Amino acid sequence: MAVIGIFASDKGPGDPERASLMTQTGNHFARRGAELLCLWEQGVGPLPLMTAARTAGGAVSVLADEEVALPPTLSGVPVRVVADRAARQALLADEADVLVVLPGSLASASALFGSWASTRGRSKPVVMLNRHRAFEVVKGFAGDVLSHSVAGYDRNVQFADSVEDLWNKVSWVLEQKR
């Protein structure tokens, strides 16, 4: 079973469809046997994603800060508390087979980049759901900057346009790792 480190935020300004996208993604990934590893920081986590994944019979676990208080709908979800944010992000990157980010707030994108940077050059694939061009700037950066400085960036940084395409890209990068 692949471990998917998934970044999605349920709070703050951002994509108005994010709860729906999280629900679709949690359901879709769980039905395909993925294990989701999520961050829960400052009382915020991807609740719709985790709830949908669990409802679909999927495995979900959480890396959290010391303020963790999961809602009753997530009772029984394994939680590990890691006080230091950088250490929490590095642990997620170490344990995940692939990093996935959904459109949302700046907090989820910031956590993704913190985790990705913690890999220190080790190849960790990243797949972004570019719904409504949410990551178009990152896509441009990847083409303009990463293409010249990161070997194999085109295999390790992928952009998807739908939840189904997101799963296809995740499956593809996982296959490439084998």
114-136 per-position pLDDT tens digit: 887 787 656 688 888 887 776 66
Question: Stretch 18-24: mean pLDDT, rounded?
Answer: 90
Q: Judge whether residue 50 has pLDDT over 60.
A: yes
What is the torsional sign of CA 86, 127, 125, 45? positive
Higher pLDDT: 146 or 53? It is 53
pLDDT of residue 40: 93
The tokens describing 72, both together, are 């009753």
pLDDT of residue 158: 84
Question: Stretch 55-68: mean pLDDT, rounded?
Answer: 96
pLDDT of residue 4: 97
* pTM given for the model: 0.87
- How are strands ordered across the β-sheet holding 59-64? 79-81, 59-64, 35-40, 3-7, 98-101, 126-129, 157-160
Q: Is residue 104 very low, low, confident or very high in pLDDT (cuts 50, 70, 90)?
A: confident
Question: Stretch 72-86: mean pLDDT, rounded?
Answer: 95
Q: Judge whether residue 144 has pLDDT over 60.
A: no
Higher pLDDT: 162 or 134? It is 162
pLDDT of residue 12: 61
> H/E/C letters for each residue in the chain?
CCEEEEECCCCCCCCCCHHHHHHHHHHHHHHCCCEEEEEEECCECCHHHHHHHHHCCCEEEEEECCCCCCCHHHCCCCEEECCCHHHHHHHHHHHCCEEEECCCCHHHHHHHHHHHHCCCCCCCCEEEECHHHCCHHHHHHHHHHHHHHCCCHHHHEEEECCHHHHHHHHHHHHHHHC
Q: Judge whether residue 77 has pLDDT over 90.
A: yes
CA 72 to CA 65: how far, in whole Å?
18
pLDDT of residue 141: 53
pLDDT of residue 17: 78
